[in-house]
Amino acid sequence: MHHVQVKYKKIRETALVPSYQSPHAAGMDVHSANTENITIEPGTIEMIPLGFAMALPDHYEAQVRPRSGLASKYGVTLPNSPGTIDADYRGECCVPLINHGQEPFVVEPNMRIAQMIIAPVVQATFEEVEELEDTVRGSGGFGSTGA
């Protein structure tokens, strides 16, 4: 298992440090840093503050993903899943949550609202060519492999 160090700064006193819930967890839980309840009405999006800024190492990103429990129980997820926090971003980290459920959802202070994965980034360059190599799949699109 590869380990990197991420420097962070609290923006709000209520911020909790992201943490892994088990030794082999890929994602760490992130908590809301709101001091009052935030209600997300059905069909709406609210930006939830995490209360910290961070400095990821060069060539890394933070992927922010939904918590499966919130999605399956309440229909609350991220509208841009996964969201990306780039290594050069220094503002307060926030998570947009959308309520696809039928009832209002309340984000309580310090609630676990998402998971964050720290992942390496590879930047690519594109080279224009006249022809591409043939493959078994060819130009078959969505569902063409039987999925």
Pairwise CA distance, residues 24 & 22, whole Å: 6
Residue by residue, pLDDT tens for the chain (147 residues) are 678 999 999 999 999 999 999 999 999 999 999 999 999 999 999 999 999 999 999 999 999 999 989 999 999 999 998 999 999 999 999 999 999 999 999 999 999 999 999 999 999 999 999 999 988 877 777 776 666
Long-range contacts of 18-27 (CB under 8 A, 24+ apart): 18/116, 26/117, 27/65, 27/115, 27/116, 27/117
Element holding 74 (H helix, E strand): helix 68-74
Domains, in order of start, for the chain: 7-120 (2.70.40.10)
User: In a 3-state reduction of DSSP, which class is residue 145?
Assistant: coil
Q: What is the pLDDT of residue 147?
A: 61
Question: What global pTM score does this model have?
Answer: 0.86
Q: What is the DSSP letter of 72?
A: H
